[in-house]
Chains A and B, each alone.
Chain A
Amino acid sequence: MTISNKRVIGGAALLAASTVALTGCAGFGGGSSSDESAGDGMSGSITFTTWASESEETAFGELIDQFEAEHEGATVNLNVVPYDQMFSNIDAQLSSGDAPDVFRVDYGNLGVYSSQDQLLDVSSYFSDDEIDDFVPAMWEAVSYDGVPYGVPHQTDVSALLVNLDMLESAGFDTSTLPTTQDDAWTWDEFAAVAGDLREALPSDKYPFVYNWQLGGAPRWFSWLFQADGRFLESDGTTPAIDSPAGEQALDFTKSFFENDWVPPTSSTKATTYADSLFAEETTAMAFIGSFLVPDMDYFNEFEWTSVPMPRDVRGATELGGNALVATKDTANPDLAAAFLKYMVSADAMNAFCAATNELPTRTDLSGDAIEFAVRPDVMPVFVEQATTIEPQDVQQVTSPAMAAINTALQDQLEAAFLGGQSTADTLANLSAAIEEAAQ
């Protein structure tokens, strides 16, 4: 599943792979404070576990202070952990009955927990009118079998960042860059730009880099969706990737490596993020998530802007971002639900997204409603890019099988990109892996 904000490589959790640790370990604490939470439902204490960038941690802290001020007697204990430890520890805590009351989860992992009956059903806490405030696809993303198991807190999508200096020095007229979905490059136009850049750039510089590294393999599905393909049929179990659209998407993305358009070190199992290659000016363009805009602005010394992702039959991008969920066994479900509801209220979501350059999931915050804190000039492209996400895309990428599909996708795409595996074999292997995972 698409993962945002995972900026930390490695960590102490890596050591957990020894034989003994395979049996699971409790990890960091964070269970509910049941003794304190036996109040009237709006008082007591709950624990909220999340990973967070610096700006996210600040925003979470400020919103929690606000929530506590509005709910006298309520306490929310914020527990910020490294991304790499997040879900292995949540799994262990769920297993041992010591899970936090509320935690943050990406939309792909959410399906794993909701399908295993681990999350609080929040349907009784939201009226139909309140549900209508959310982008339908995003409410769909937190639902399993029609039941909402959390709230869609934010989303983020990728767009194409362009190093204006590199393009201009390669002789490209940057005034002709697309700015909206209507004038987005087609695949052919994008390929022509990449080809021109390849010829103009030195051999150790590359036209672009795609952000499918380090758990980001499902971002490849953007190409599949742009070709109007799908990897799961609407029944949620039948693989659909071995198709003409799948072949077209795979052939096109394989050509990135065959034509030296992307660095050979940027495949799906690479250990370096795409934004690093863009920031160090190894590539002229990069597909980057909106949540990285603050980092790009702080660390780069060259001029850059954002343009829409290329489109084929249609425009598409990945469903990034995260939901907030409460665990089914929380000792204070009313307070947990109240906190979730508060965090996706218009004011709170506005404040959070503005501070972190992430995108809202509410319809009343769409368009230019949010004043982003950093580089607001590049954000409209991301905001419009988010409109290319379709409900059928959401249904597929929130499948409980996504964790297994993600791994198969990493392996198979890497074999196709770097190992010379044929398109037919790759699609057949993916189809088999998806079938097994979705059983």
Chain B
Amino acid sequence: MTATSARGTVSASAPAVPRAGRRAARFREALVGWGFITPNLILMSLFLFAPILWAIQLSFQETRGFGDPDWVGFDNYVKMAGDPVFWRSLANTMVFTIVTVPIDMAAGLGLAVLLNSALPARGVFRTMIVLPMVISGVATGMIAVTMFYQTNGIINKVLQAIGLDPIAWQSEGAPAMISVMIVAVWLRVGFNMVIYLAGLQGISPELYEAARIDGATRWQQFRAITVPLVGPSTFFLLIMNVIASFQVFDLIFVMTGGGPGDATSVLVTYAYRNGFQIREQGYGAAIGVVILIITLIFTFIQWKTSRTRDLVE
């Protein structure tokens, strides 16, 4: 009642602020808002939206990138449906995603919890783990090639030194995929850790104190407090990791070139192969559009189903 009468009071005194004045204020506010986002919108339109539209157009054409393109309608998509290498690349991408994303996130959370505690020289450890983030994927891939080099690489040398058989990292499909996954996890775990660290530092220590008073074990504290309260970080990382996995390219291109056979071929390496090596740019663009659609669908589903994305303490 009080509130109603208060609103009524305000309403009664409204003529003190003219309607035209409020409109002008709203207009100015909107103008400021547009002013802030316009540079971003221009850049995104120029470097993101326009190229995506161009790629979609390209996917309906047969072109080498120069000369006159031919409009072929859905031919590139029809060809894709019957292309076994495309399906193999899609399957490889899914396997890569399903394996690396949970490991990345679990390891990232574990390291974040560890390095969020009173650990000696934790700054040094944090730096060491985050360091791979600042190295380019190509450079990492080249380092990894020397490490996983089948005949003289350090990993096989170590395995042989301790009496084990060398592993066919470069000539057999499964070991090749495992080598790529190991390097990908190493490369990304630092990013996961940083995001989780930020999430952990937003959790009030009083919650843990209260849990300890109630007799909760460390595992119970982790399960009942930490995991739920880093929900927004988990949601963000899940989206980012899945997108990154669907777009993995540099590591695989440098380490295995998609081989042996098509064992490590993923969607982006296959798109690159078609777009730039065979010069079937229309087909390459069509594969790119499929990657875009898959990542958008996954992001949409995650957005709709995640219950913890907006969770705050």
Contacts and interface: CB of A to CB of B under 8 A. Distances in A.
A275 B64 CA distance: 33
Contacts of B226: none
A62 to B, nearest CB: 32
Contacts of B145: 9, 271-272
Interface string B227-264: 00000000000000000000101100111111111100
Interface in B154-182: 168, 170-171
Given A10-B138, A10-B141, A19-B292, A282 B67 contact: no
Contacts, number: 147
Nearest to B141: A10
B260 A414 contact: yes
Interface in B286-313: 288-289, 291-292
Interface in A6-27: 9-12, 14-24
13 contacts: A11-B138, A15-B250, A17-B276, A19-B55, A19-B291, A22-B55, A95-B65, A118-B67, A265-B170, A265-B171, A269-B260, A270-B259, A271-B259
Interface residues of A, number: 46
Interface in A264-300: 264-265, 267, 269-272, 277, 280, 282
A403 interface: yes
A264 B259 CA distance: 12
B55 A23 contact: yes
Q: Is the interface of B mostly helix, strand, loop or mixed?
A: helix
B151 interface: yes
B98 interface: no
Contact of B261 (A91, A95, A204, A414): A414
B281 A24 contact: yes
A88 B284 CA distance: 13
A280 B152 contact: yes
A18 B47 CA distance: 13
Contacts of B285: 22-23
Interface residues of B, number: 56
A14 B249 contact: yes
Nearest to A109: B279
Contacts of B271: 17, 19, 22
B255 A271 contact: yes
A24 B281 CA distance: 9
B200 interface: no
A21 B150 CA distance: 33
A95 B275 contact: no
B67 A15 contact: no
A112 B253 CA distance: 24
Interface in A373-409: 403-404, 406-407
B280 interface: yes
B54 interface: yes
A265 B141 CA distance: 17
A338 interface: no
B74 to A, nearest CB: 18
Given A269-B258, A403-B277, A407-B277, A15 B249 contact: yes
A22 to B, nearest CB: 4
B52 A20 contact: yes
A214 B254 CA distance: 11
Interface string B39-77: 000000001100110110010000011110000000000
A25 to B, nearest CB: 9
A407 B64 contact: no
